[in-house]
Amino acid sequence: MAPSRRQFLRRAALAGAACLIPGAILATPSHALARVRGGRIAGVREHGVHVFRGIPYGADTSARRFLPATQEPRWRGVRDAFDYGAPAPQRGDEGPGSEDCLCLNVWTPALHDGGRRPVLVYVHGGGYNTGSGSDPLYDGTRLCLRGDVVVVTVNHRLNAFGYLHLRGIAGSAYAASGNVGQLDLVQALHWVREHAAAFGGDAGNVTVFGQSGGGAKIATLMAMPAARGLFHRAWTMSGQQVTAAGPRAADGRARLYLEALGLAATDIDALRTLPVDVLLQAQSVRDPSRIEDTALYFGPVMDGDVLPRHPFWPDAPPQSAQVPMVIGNTRDETRAFLGNDPANFALDWATLPAKLRAQQYVDIEPDVVIAGYRRMYPDYTPSEVFFAATTAGRSWRGAVEELEARARDGHGNTWAYQLDWHPPGEEGERLRAFHTLDIALAFDNIAQPGSRTGASADAQRVADAMSDALLAFARSGDPRAGATAGWQPYSLERRETMVFGDAPVMQDDPRGGERRLYQRAPFVQRGTL
């Protein structure tokens, strides 16, 4: 059985620096050898695919904390690329991580064979705070075999390490500090362009795809001049970035963070040398935003340079207008966050308004929202209204905003999807098509550890449709293939959307009533103010 993510991470932590292995080992059929700019690397052959894990694309960032990364140093001999690298510093299951985290993983059907395979680069979720490219759900084996493609996953700096805006405090030397996590992704994409041919891929056909925070990071890349031309298609799943943090708001958060650390604004040298665990703990200070009662927000900053504009406001970024894009969501997003509280399944009409006021994030009178849902869906219980309304008021709003902005450009190269399918059984009925459910389906990894789709024939049928559409999109910039042959680009007139249920079906403006209800209020993304 394949090692779990936790086992991989433990092995990576124990491995530490590069392991040099004798050349004789490389002759065995179970190993693969490649040359990258840092030197030679040894990977493994698994299920007919060449796999390289933990390849560095940048140097240890501890010496350049809060600054743009530098290129990885060269090494002598052959570097072991068997194990995933360390995740970025973070709290939670994958923490505490390491500042030596700039690494990526590659799955490919063949090496240096002159092939020009599409390259798919997956950007992980976890917001801007947690996650890594080593989750078993992101294993690229099945996509490689299914579509004859190259798959790459990547780690980059997160939370305060990647998005602490220090320009107003520490001056121009730290002008990029609020976006170094994004610049890490740019550096990784440069590495992919430089090495695609060595791994049997086409540097001129790179698709970035990502879920949740990964989709948001991709939306941000689409407005970053440094990322121009580094990717050629974009596929986002339940992840949008309409507006970024304003510089004043980001500066205010940085000052709150320093206060939580017990540092003065002049103590930048101390900030750069504090232990990782101290920096992580201080991030739990409450965010000043009135939208959510959460820990301090860190995310991309509209700093006038690295990110000169909001990603999708007031329009779609012109620099990526010609990049085909798929924007998807799941119908029951917030059941992933709010569906684990039994009280949310026992709401009545008297208790619903207060819960909705706290969780919908958009500032609309809850009684107005409830009345609207009771007109649209008279059979809904209070709890069903709660989950539907919080989904419509939160992440789905961002998807609609991006779709509309792209549609106004008139290029006809934007597609929308909605996942309605969910597995049967008690959990399936409770959580339905929840946030993250589409990851295993798009990767065709329904049998991997962590998948909650089940491995039924029905689940496989949905995975076939979604992964085939992703692969078609990566190959040509058009997701129409097989079961999705009827997928039409999104337009403002019809709002065409591919709905993935038991079988894919096109619908015009699904949940249009909910969309109109929530568009009574402007959409301002978390962290903007």
DSSP element (H, E) containing 382: helix 382-393
Answer yes or no: do 225 and 359 share one domain: no
Answer yes or no: do 155 and 29 share one domain: yes
Answer yes or no: do 488 and 346 share one domain: no
Answer yes or no: do 352 and 320 share one domain: no
Give the model confidence (pLDDT) of 65-118 as tens digits: 999 999 999 999 999 999 999 999 999 999 999 999 999 999 999 999 999 999
Answer yes or no: do 73 and 196 share one domain: yes
Whole-number pLDDT of residue 345: 98
Answer yes or no: do 370 and 471 share one domain: no
User: What's the CA gap between 483 and 29, in Å, rounded?
Assistant: 37
Give the model confidence (pLDDT) of 280-308 as tens digits: 999 999 999 866 668 999 999 999 999 99
User: What's the CA gap between 305 and 92, in Å, rounded?
Assistant: 32
Whole-number pLDDT of residue 431: 98
Answer yes or no: do 491 and 527 share one domain: yes
Give the model confidence (pLDDT) of 220-236 as tens digits: 999 999 999 999 999 99
Answer yes or no: do 378 and 451 share one domain: no
Decide which of 393, 420, 436 is a domain's last residue.
Answer: 393
Decide which of 378, 393, 408 is a domain's last residue.
Answer: 393
Distances (CA, A) of 160 to 59, 95, 166, 213, 517: 18, 14, 10, 15, 36
DSSP element (H, E) containing 499: strand 496-500
Whole-number pLDDT of residue 30: 80
- Within 10 angstroms of residue 16's Cβ, the number of other Cβ atoms is 10
Domains identified in the chain, total number? 2
What angle in degrees, to the nearest 10, is found between the helix axes of 395-409 and 382-393? 40
Answer yes or no: do 349 and 466 share one domain: no
Picking from 115, 246, 128, the residue whose alpha carbon sits closest to that of residue 185 is 128
Distances (CA, A) of 463 to 196, 299, 438: 27, 31, 9
User: SS in 3 state form for 196-265?
Assistant: CHHHCEEEEEEEEEEECHHHHHHHHHCCCHHHCCCCCEEEEECCCCCCCECHHHHHHHHHHHHHHHCCCC
Q: Give the residues of the chain that fall short of pLDDT 50.
A: 1-27
Answer yes or no: do 192 and 208 share one domain: yes
Longest dimension (CA), the chain: 73
Q: Residue 356 is part of which domain span?
A: 337-393
Decide which of 393, 410, 431 is a domain's last residue.
Answer: 393
Return the C-alpha torsion angle 425, 431, 435, 437, nearest 10.
0
CATH number, domain of 84, equals 3.40.50.1820
Answer yes or no: do 4 and 139 share one domain: yes
Whole-number pLDDT of residue 417: 98
Whole-number pLDDT of residue 31: 87
Cross-strand bridge partners of residue 32: 43
Answer yes or no: do 286 and 429 share one domain: yes
- What is the reported pTM? 0.94
Tokens of 70: 């530098």
